[in-house]
Amino acid sequence: MTTSNTNARDFLKHCAWFVFFFLFTIIAFLVVANSGVTATKNELTESPNVQQPPAQEIKSADQVYKNIQVFKGIPASELEPTMAFISGSLGVKCNDR
């Protein structure tokens, strides 16, 4: 068998597997979509046997930290990950001191 025939055969095998998985995914999606099973928002978020903890007040970044000018209004718990993302994107390190 020549190299070109082997390459062509390997290519066709890969194409066949791709088509198989693509069709399998589409069929699975259609089965799930047409199954008629639905859930309301309350069924997704609440469980009858589990008590929900009392709602905690979420403080904004400008309520927790001093001199916040740009990120006013975002939750304080999101400020540090946001700043880490920005410093990582810029390729710099921020120090606390």
pLDDT at 96: 58
Paired strand residues for 75: 60
Structural domain including 76 reads 61-90
Question: What six digits make up the tokens of 60?
Answer: 């904004």
Whether 39 and 10 map to the same domain: the answer is yes
Rounded to the nearest integer, the mean pLDDT of the chain is 77
29: tokens are: 């999606």
Asked if the structure places residue 14 within a domain, the reply is: yes
CB count within 10 Å of CB 61 equals 20
Task: Return the pLDDT at 52.
Answer: 59
Phi, psi of 16 (to 5 degrees): -65, -45
Residue 96 inside a domain? The answer is: no
**Residues 35-74: pLDDT tens digits?**
766 655 555 555 556 565 666 788 888 888 888 888 888 8
pLDDT at 77 over 80: yes
pLDDT value at 84 more than 80: yes
Whole-angstrom Cα distance, residue 27 to residue 21? Answer: 10
Residues 39, 65, single domain; the answer is: no
Better-predicted residue by pLDDT, 5 or 97: 5
| Percent of the chain surpassing pLDDT 90 | 0
One domain, residues 11 and 39 = yes
The token pair that represents 3 in the structure block: 């190299």
The pLDDT, as a whole number, for residue 86 is 87
The answer to whether 61 touches 79, Cβ cutoff 8 Å, is yes
Residue in 69, 72, 94, 74 with CA at minimum distance from that of residue 84? 94
56 within some domain: no
- What pLDDT does residue 53 have? 61
